[in-house]
Chain A
Amino acid sequence: MARSLSKFAAWAIIALVVFLAVFPLYWTLISGFKDRVDIVTTTPVFIFKPTLDNFAYVFERDSVRGALVNSIIITGSSVLIGAVLGLPAAYAVARYPMRFANDIQFFVLSLRFLPPVAVAIPLIVIWLDLGLYDSRIAMIATYSLLTLSTTIWLAIPAFKRVPREIEEAAVMDGYDPYSVFFLIAIPVAAKSLIGAIVFSFVLVWNEFLIALMLTTSDAKTLPIVASELTQLGRDVPWGILNASVILLSLPPLLFLGVLSRFLSSALKTRS
């Protein structure tokens, strides 16, 4: 009796957490399709006549369009730089005996300790002096610090999991070290490497504080524009807000499957 009761309690708690994990986003999504009258009400409305006005408004706004283009260019370029430079570095650290291997790993990790404000404040002055403040170039360079360090950090274990024997067999077959990297290590570790790169994408796509401080108009990214919408005055256009939040959140959510598998495989082999 007591046993089935505690079983029931356990399932009830799990059901509640599932609800908490999924429902807020669902509610935001359907609120994006609601008219203002269906949102500004003290009793929640579940059945309503959906409207596309909010999404249409969001996509027609120049600020949102500009921010979307900026976000795509800035995150795309910095993720690419992080991958092109980070994967080889991670491979070298993972595979070649190096005197400073541990120090390199620690240095890369310690970049994550830096408070973003502490990086952003001097960067304002630096980019102003160089005449690059509020430009995409400056944002790409700054974000490359994030993508590069994250990609290196996550790709080192991925390369370590590639069976050594495969690489050694390739060397026997006459592959030079570079071909081993490009033709053997990368394809074998591809799944985990994609996970690492996607992770760095989510990190910079979602980044807020640095973008807030380093952009004022030309290079604003989507999180900044979305947050500006949420700070509007009294007569808040809730439907539009919900629509813009959905637009901002969609890209990272598209990678839910990739990241969930990446997490599983990264943790499975650690013990």
Chain B
Amino acid sequence: MKMRTSLPVVFTVPPLLILGVLAFVPMFFALEIALQDRELSNEDVHFVWFANFRDLFADDRFLHSVSVSLIWEAVTVTATMGVAILLAVLLFETVSPRLRNFLCALFIIPALLPRVSAAFVWKFAFHPLFGLATLPLNLIAGHPVDLLANPDTALATVAIVDTWQWGLLFSVIIVKLLETLPPQPLEAARLDHAKTWEVYFYIALPMLRAPLISLTFVKMVESLRAFDLIYVMTRGGPGITTETLDMYAFSQGFIESGRISYASSMAVLMMLTTTIAFTILWKWARRWQEV
């Protein structure tokens, strides 16, 4: 199609303009607000330049929330990819293709649930008195166990729910990817008496290196959106043990003090670090895929 036509311009310019306005105007405002001392209850607004950022780095609770976010990121990404790969290999090895398709449909269910629903379903299951998931724990411990109220277990418990949603979804994706592989290399390895795990670890998974890297990348981006789960399950508690960055920004901006400028300075920092980190990672992953 080498015709001269207005189609590319007509079709791309309006949507991109709208996207640009919807994305860049808030970004610009976020920056402006971060440099001010705006509060929800106060009409007076002054520019304070970098005072908010200076305060942030002297704020122990902020630094704590950064470390919670980093731990959350590491734990959920690793758990999701680990569960997804193991489960996918297991399904691919043991289950016939027809049954596999059916099971794959079932494994998508948790990911389709709104995060609020998933959070509630498991909050209910982990209820210390009549939760189904705590029932065996109570029997072992001999007293009611409240995993979400215990500072040592709260974050891990929320991470289980995240893995429940994402790990199962990704296992379906990896099964479908395994199905696209040519069977000959795997059969050849089996004829050479390779053990099952060796077939996957040395042959099948390396062949899927590029999509697996993309999936890890997707999960890293999505793990930043832990807010819904944490908000419903623990509200950042007990104390501040599960308070991630977005949770802290929310509570500074809304619940506790209405310090919208302070919250915005956190948001700007998040925006900068994630955009820079993910742009570099994305370009780097692209290069890997081309090799």
Instruction: List residues of chain A with CB under 8 Å of any chain B CB.
Output: 7, 10-11, 13-14, 17-18, 20-22, 24-25, 27-28, 31, 39-42, 44, 85-86, 88-89, 91-93, 95-96, 98, 104, 106-119, 121-126, 141-142, 144-145, 148-149, 152, 167-168, 171, 176-178, 181, 202, 205-206, 208-209, 212-213, 223, 226-227, 230-231, 238, 241-242, 245, 248-249, 252-253, 255-257, 259-260, 263-264, 267-268, 270-271
Is the beta-carbon distance between A18 and B106 smaller than 8 angstroms? yes
Tell me whether B232 is interfacial, beta carbon within 8 Å: yes
Is the beta-carbon distance between A122 and B180 smaller than 8 angstroms? no
SS of A interface (majority): helix
**Contact A7 B94, CB 8 Å, known A88-B11, A112-B221, A208-B116:** yes
Q: From B23, B90, B246, give the contact of A117 (CB < 8 A).
A: B246
Is the beta-carbon distance between B7 and A248 smaller than 8 angstroms? no
Q: Quote the shortest CB–CB distance from B15 to chain A (angstroms).
A: 4
Q: Which residues of A contact B224 (CB under 8 A)?
A: 115
Tell me whether B238 is interfacial, beta carbon within 8 Å: no
Is the beta-carbon distance between B116 and A125 smaller than 8 angstroms? no
Is the beta-carbon distance between A242 and B124 smaller than 8 angstroms? yes
Is the beta-carbon distance between B121 and A115 smaller than 8 angstroms? no
Tell me whether B137 is interfacial, beta carbon within 8 Å: no
- Bound-state Cα–Cα, A125 to B246, Å: 18
Q: Which residues in window 255-290 of B have CB below 8 A to A?
A: 260, 263-264, 266-268, 270-271, 274-275, 278-279, 282
- Bound-state Cα–Cα, A264 to B103, Å: 13
Q: Which residues of B contact A123 (CB under 8 A)?
A: 26, 29
Is the beta-carbon distance between A149 and B120 smaller than 8 angstroms? no
Q: Count contacts between A and B, CB distance < 8 Å.
A: 273
Please give me the residue from chain B that is nearest to A226 by CB atom: B116
Q: Quote the shortest CB–CB distance from B203 to chain A (angstroms).
A: 15
Is the beta-carbon distance between A208 and B227 smaller than 8 angstroms? yes
The 8 closest A-B pairs by CB, nearest first: A122-B29, A206-B114, A118-B267, A88-B11, A92-B11, A267-B176, A85-B15, A145-B22
Is the beta-carbon distance between B124 and A145 smaller than 8 angstroms? no
Q: Which residues in window 218-244 of B have CB below 8 A to A?
A: 221, 224-225, 227-228, 231-232, 235
Is the beta-carbon distance between A114 and B23 smaller than 8 angstroms? yes
Is the beta-carbon distance between A113 and B221 smaller than 8 angstroms? yes
Q: Please give the number of chain B residues whose Cβ is less than 8 angstroms from any Cβ of chain A in the complex.
A: 94
**Contact A259 B87, CB 8 Å, known A88-B15, A122-B27:** no
**Contact A248 B116, CB 8 Å, known A28-B121, A92-B7, A178-B7:** yes
Q: Quote the shortest CB–CB distance from B24 to chain A (angstroms).
A: 10
Q: Quote the shortest CB–CB distance from B197 to chain A (angstroms).
A: 11
Q: Which residues of B contact A122 (CB under 8 A)?
A: 25-30, 32-33, 264, 267
Please give me the residue from chain A that is nearest to B3 by CB atom: A177
**Contact A14 B11, CB 8 Å, known A209-B225, A209-B228, A248-B116:** no
Q: Which residues of B contact A124 (CB under 8 A)?
A: 260
Contact with A along B109-133 (1 / 0, CB 8 A): 1101111110111111100011010
Is the beta-carbon distance between A125 and B279 smaller than 8 angstroms? no
- Bound-state Cα–Cα, A124 to B22, Å: 13
Q: Quote the shortest CB–CB distance from A204 to chain B (angstroms).
A: 11
Q: Quote the shortest CB–CB distance from A87 to chain B (angstroms).
A: 9
Is the beta-carbon distance between A25 and B116 smaller than 8 angstroms? no
For the complex with contacts A121-B260, A152-B15, 11 further pairs of A-B residues with Cβ separation under 8 Å are A17-B107, A41-B130, A92-B12, A104-B16, A116-B227, A122-B267, A125-B260, A206-B113, A230-B116, A256-B105, A260-B172
Is the beta-carbon distance between A40 and B130 smaller than 8 angstroms? yes
- Bound-state Cα–Cα, A141 to B23, Å: 11
Is the beta-carbon distance between B103 and A18 smaller than 8 angstroms? yes
Q: Which residues of A contact B263 (CB under 8 A)?
A: 117, 121
Is the beta-carbon distance between A230 and B260 smaller than 8 angstroms? no
Q: Which residues of B contact A209 (CB under 8 A)?
A: 225, 227-228, 231, 246, 250
Q: Quote the shortest CB–CB distance from B46 to chain A (angstroms).
A: 15
Please give me the residue from chain B that is nearest to A22 by CB atom: B106
Is the beta-carbon distance between A263 and B173 smaller than 8 angstroms? yes
Please give me the residue from chain B that is nearest to A145 by CB atom: B22
Contact with A along B153-176 (1 / 0, CB 8 A): 000000000001000100011001
